Amino acid sequence: MTEKQTIAEKPAHSADSHKESTSKILFDDIDSGKTIGRFTHADAKACKTNPEEGTVPTLMPGQRSNGCDFKGMKDLPKDLKHLDFPDIYSKAAESTVRIDSTMTDPHDKKGRYKQEGPAGTGAIIGKDVEKGECLVATANHVINGGKDVNISNVKAVSADGKKYDTEVRYTEPKKDTAVIAMKTGADTEKVCKPFTAVQDVNDEAGKGKNVVALGFPQGSRALYASPGKSDGIRPMREDMSPRNIKELGLEPDATQLKVKNHIKGGQSGGPVVTPEGRLAGLNQSGPDGYTRDSYAVPLDQRRVDELLAKARR
């Protein structure tokens, strides 16, 4: 991460007129024939192009794309073609949520800048049926904004398209991590499908391992996959200047999972998973024009248990 690379705080424009609908089939991969009825890309016009029905919505690893220009599974690099995207989605999509909010510019005193809609992504890590809550891990900057954006009215959208109110339960700004509670009520058992986290990030998602980052890029209502290879876990200070770390309020010794792929704003907070669909991290930041790599907050079962314990206090 270079000094000019910053956490994606302000997603691209997303039209208020988008409909909250769900598609019967998100994609149907011609190789496997598997289909899944999850997040829709219908009416997702915030991007310049969106995948046609019947294709796997994929951001290419290590490549620049303008706006939201995506390519399908046939264009994947040879060493990633074996990844079974329908299988990964079937394991991960139901445990992923879209985070919507109201975004305003703190410097805009006249209130001319206001944006409603998709702002980030989250990963379900736990549930409390008695309280009717679903616990979701995400990036802290997704729900708390930063110097360039104020965040309010945070909602969480489940894979079936239903929107829920949320409450912030725990934040760890120096590690850019937070846990929110989706107020799912009677829907808790049906909606809350927590990820199974990896036991050891280094072993299951370490250097050279295939991983897939999921999220809603640039205000899109479609859940996209960003396949790539892990470059291992490293201290934040190895890839970010002291000045940038200080400006973002992060901990220099906090670790990051470096991934050779391509993500965009909006995918922040979304899950980074293994080909088996196991949670290994949360998207944090992506390319800025100087580097093609992305970074994620590493997660394993021990860390997930720790976050849940703190969120339930």
Domain residues of the chain, as ranges? Answer: 27-92+196-301, 93-195+302-311
SS (H, E, C) 281-309: EEEEECCCCCCCCEEEEECCHHHHHHHHH
Give the pLDDT of residue 195: 97
Answer whether CATH 2.40.10.10 is correct for domain 27-92+196-301.
yes
CATH architecture of 93-195+302-311: Beta Barrel (2.40)
CA distance 119 to 154: 9
Which tokens go with 294?
């992305």
**Segment holding 124, helix H or strand E:** strand 114-128
What average pLDDT does the segment 117-129 reach?
92
Give the pLDDT of residue 183: 97
CA distance 56 to 52: 9
Model pTM?
0.81
Which is higher by pLDDT, 39 or 96?
96
CA distance 159 to 311: 23
User: Which of helix, strand or coil describes residue 89?
Assistant: helix
Which tokens go with 132?
């009717």
Q: What are the pLDDT digits (tens) for 200-221?
A: 999 999 999 999 899 887 767 7
Greatest alpha-carbon span in the chain:
53
> How many residues make up the chain in this entry?
313
CA distance 235 to 253: 5
Residue 75 C-alpha from the chain's centroid: 22
Could you tell me which of 177, 129, 168 has the C-alpha nearest to residue 306? 177
Give the pLDDT of residue 193: 94
- DSSP-assigned beta bridge partners for residue 224: 215
User: Which of helix, strand or coil describes residue 125?
Assistant: strand
Give the pLDDT of residue 265: 78
Q: What are the pLDDT digits (tens) for 65-92?
A: 545 555 555 566 667 767 777 778 778 8
Highest mean pLDDT (candidates 12-21, 74-83, 239-248): 239-248
Q: In the chain, what percentage of residues exceed pLDDT 90?
A: 37
Q: In the chain, what percentage of residues exceed pLDDT 70?
A: 72
Do the domains at 27-92+196-301 and 93-195+302-311 have one common CATH topology? yes
Q: What are the pLDDT digits (tens) for 175-202?
A: 999 999 999 999 999 999 999 999 999 9
